[in-house]
C-alpha cells in the first residue's frame, strides 16, 4: 500500500477565533499545521466585530456619564466635545496590536501563517495564488459576512464592517435591522451624538430574546432618544448633491440622512473557496452541515464557527476549535454544550441572558415560576438618569432548577456570566435563596427574589 505524504497534518482556512484556536492547539499537540488568511488575523471579532464594537460602546456611554456627574456634585464648565477621528484611530491602533498578538500566538506554537486567499484544488489540496499546499485534514473556518438589503441604490448603504473606518461622523443615521448588531450600533451612534433612527421590518426589536426583555429594551431605546421605525423596510436610496442620501421606505415615507447602515444579519462566507472541488456539500440555507465531530460530508474536512450556521458567538467558535484539535490529535475532546450559552447585547442599557426564554419554558415544562424585578439602579437616583433595570429568573416548579436568567441594566453581561456558571452546575432556586447578596448592588436582586410574579407552563398561565 502506498503511503500518502502531505505537506501538513492540518490546514485551517480562516484565522478567526475558531480557526486560530484549532490551529494553535493542534500545533501544541505536535501536529504540522498551517493557517490561511486573506484579510486579517483574528477574524470578524477582533477586527470588525466584538472588540472594536465594545470599544465604541464604551465611548458612547461617556455622554450619559457626563450628564450623570452633575447629580454627584461635579460641575462641567464646558460642554464635552467628541472627536471621531481620535476614537477611530485609537481603536485601529489597538486592533493592529491585537493582530500582532495573534501572529505571535500562532508563530510561537509553530503554526505556518500563509497570507492570501485559499481555495480548494481537491479534497486534500488548497491553493493560495500560485502555491499549493496539501494536508491530511482541513478545517474550514471562514466565518460570515454582512447581508445587504435588496433595494434600489443599495450601493449607497454601508455594512457594519465599514462603520469602524468612517472618514467623518454623521449628524444623523439610519440603522437597518432589529437584531443585536443593529441595536448595538443604534446605541453607539445615539450615544456619540448622532440623531439615530432604527428601521426594523418587525416589532419589537431582538427577535428570539425573551419577550419581556424585548419590550423593555425597546422602551429604553426610545427613552434614550433613538427613533424606532417599526414594520418598515428600505425601498430605495438616492445620493444627493449635498453628500447626503434620500431614503424611501416601504410605507412611502422619505427621509434624508448622512449615513445608512445595514445590520440585517450575516451569511456564511464561502465565496471563492471552490468548495465543490473538495466535494463538500453546502446546505440550502448557505451554511455547511457538520456532524457531532464537526465533520462535513467529506470526513477529513471539518468546519466550525459562523460558517456552520449554529451559534454565531466567538466563545462558541473557540470551544468548537478546541474540540476539533482534541478530536484529531488528542482523542479526548470535550463536547460543546449548546444548551446554556450565556450572551450579552451591548446596547444601553446592556442585556445579559442565559438559558430559556419564558415562551420556551412555557412550552417545555408543566409549571414554571417567573420571578421579576424592575427598578431604578442606585446610581441613577442622584443623577436623574431615567434608565431602569430589569431582572428575571425562570424556575422549573418540579426540579426547582433555575432554567433561565435575564437582565437589562448596567454590567448585565458581567453579572450573567456568574449566573451561567451556577446554572451550568445545576443550581436550584434554593441555592440562589441561600446565597448571601452583596449590598448595595443590582446583582443582589437575583438572590433576593422570593415571590414569583406568575406561574406559567404548558396550557396554563396564572397571574
**HEC letters along 216-277:** HHHHHHHHCCCEEEECCCEEEEEECCCCCEEEEECCCCEEEECEEEECCCEEECCCCCCHHH
Residue with cell 491585537: 98
**What backbone torsions phi and psi does residue 233 show, to the nearest 5 degrees?**
-130, 170
CA atoms within 13 A on the CB side of 127: 13
- Distance from C-alpha of 215 to C-alpha of 165, rounded to nearest angstrom: 32
CB atoms within 10 A of CB 272: 11
Of 225, 156, 228, the closest CA to residue 192 belongs to: 225
Residue 439 falls in the annotated catalytic set = yes
Residue with cell 466635545: 81
Catalytic one of 115, 200, 406, 439:
439
- Distance from C-alpha of 60 to C-alpha of 68, rounded to nearest angstrom: 14
DSSP notation for 100-125: HHHHHHHHHHTPEEEES-EEEEETTE
DSSP state for residue 436 in the 8-state scheme: P
Residues with catalytic annotation? 439
Amino acid at each position: 500500500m502506498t503511503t500518502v505524504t502531505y505537506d501538513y497534518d492540518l490546514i485551517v482556512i480562516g484565522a478567526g477565533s475558531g480557526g486560530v484556536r484549532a490551529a494553535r492547539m493542534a500545533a501544541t499537540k505536535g501536529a504540522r499545521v498551517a493557517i490561511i488568511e486573506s484579510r486579517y488575523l483574528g477574524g470578524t471579532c477582533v477586527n470588525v466585530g466584538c472588540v472594536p464594537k465594545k470599544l465604541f460602546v464604551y465611548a458612547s456611554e461617556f455622554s450619559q456619564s457626563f450628564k450623570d456627574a452633575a447629580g454627584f456634585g461635579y460641575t462641567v464648565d464646558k460642554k464635552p466635545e467628541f472627536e471621531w477621528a481620535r476614537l477611530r484611530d485609537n481603536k485601529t491602533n489597538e486592533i493592529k496590536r491585537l493582530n500582532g498578538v495573534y501572529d505571535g500566538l500562532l508563530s510561537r506554537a509553530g503554526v505556518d501563517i500563509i497570507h492570501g486567499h485559499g481555495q480548494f484544488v481537491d479534497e486534500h489540496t488548497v491553493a493560495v495564488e500560485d502555491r499549493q499546499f496539501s494536508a491530511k485534514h482541513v478545517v474550514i473556518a471562514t466565518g460570515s459576512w454582512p447581508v445587504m438589503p435588496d433595494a434600489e441604490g443599495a450601493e449607497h448603504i454601508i455594512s457594519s464592517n465599514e462603520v469602524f473606518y468612517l472618514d467623518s461622523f454623521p449628524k444623523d443615521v439610519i440603522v437597518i435591522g432589529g437584531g443585536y448588531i443593529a441595536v448595538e450600533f443604534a446605541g453607539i451612534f445615539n450615544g456619540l451624538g448622532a440623531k439615530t433612527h432604527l428601521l426594523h421590518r418587525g416589532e419589537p426589536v431582538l427577535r428570539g430574546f425573551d419577550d419581556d426583555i424585548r419590550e423593555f429594551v425597546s422602551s429604553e431605546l426610545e427613552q434614550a432618544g433613538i427613533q424606532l421605525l417599526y414594520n418598515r423596510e428600505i425601498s430605495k436610496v438616492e445620493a444627493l448633491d449635498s453628500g447626503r442620501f434620500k431614503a424611501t421606505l416601504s410605507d412611502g415615507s422619505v427621509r434624508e440622512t448622512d449615513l445608512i447602515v445595514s445590520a440585517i444579519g450575516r451569511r456564511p462566507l464561502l465565496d471563492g473557496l471552490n468548495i465543490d472541488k473538495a466535494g463538500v456539500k453546502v446546505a440550502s440555507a448557505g451554511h455547511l452541515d457538520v456532524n457531532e465531530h464537526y465533520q462535513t460530508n467529506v470526513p477529513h474536512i471539518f468546519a466550525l464557527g459562523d460558517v456552520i450556521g449554529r451559534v454565531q458567538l466567538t466563545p462558541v467558535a473557540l470551544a468548537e476549535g478546541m474540540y476539533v484539535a482534541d478530536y484529531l490529535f488528542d482523542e479526548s475532546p470535550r463536547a460543546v454544550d449548546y444548551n446554556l450559552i450565556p450572551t450579552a447585547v451591548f446596547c444601553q442599557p446592556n442585556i445579559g441572558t442565559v438559558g430559556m426564554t419564558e415562551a420556551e419554558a412555557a412550552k417545555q415544562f408543566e409549571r414554571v415560576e417567573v420571578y421579576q424585578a424592575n427598578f431604578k439602579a442606585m446610581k441613577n437616583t442622584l443623577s436623574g438618569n431615567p434608565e431602569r433595570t430589569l431582572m428575571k429568573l425562570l424556575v422549573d416548579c418540579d426540579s426547582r432548577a433555575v432554567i433561565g436568567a435575564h437582565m437589562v441594566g448596567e454590567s448585565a453581561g458581567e453579572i450573567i456570566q456568574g449566573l451561567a456558571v451556577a446554572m451550568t452546575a445545576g443550581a436550584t432556586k434554593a441555592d440562589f435563596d441561600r446565597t448571601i447578596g452583596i449590598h448595595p448592588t443590582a446583582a443582589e436582586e437575583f438572590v433576593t427574589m422570593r415571590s414569583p410574579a406568575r406561574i406559567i407552563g404548558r396550557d396554563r398561565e396564572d397571574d
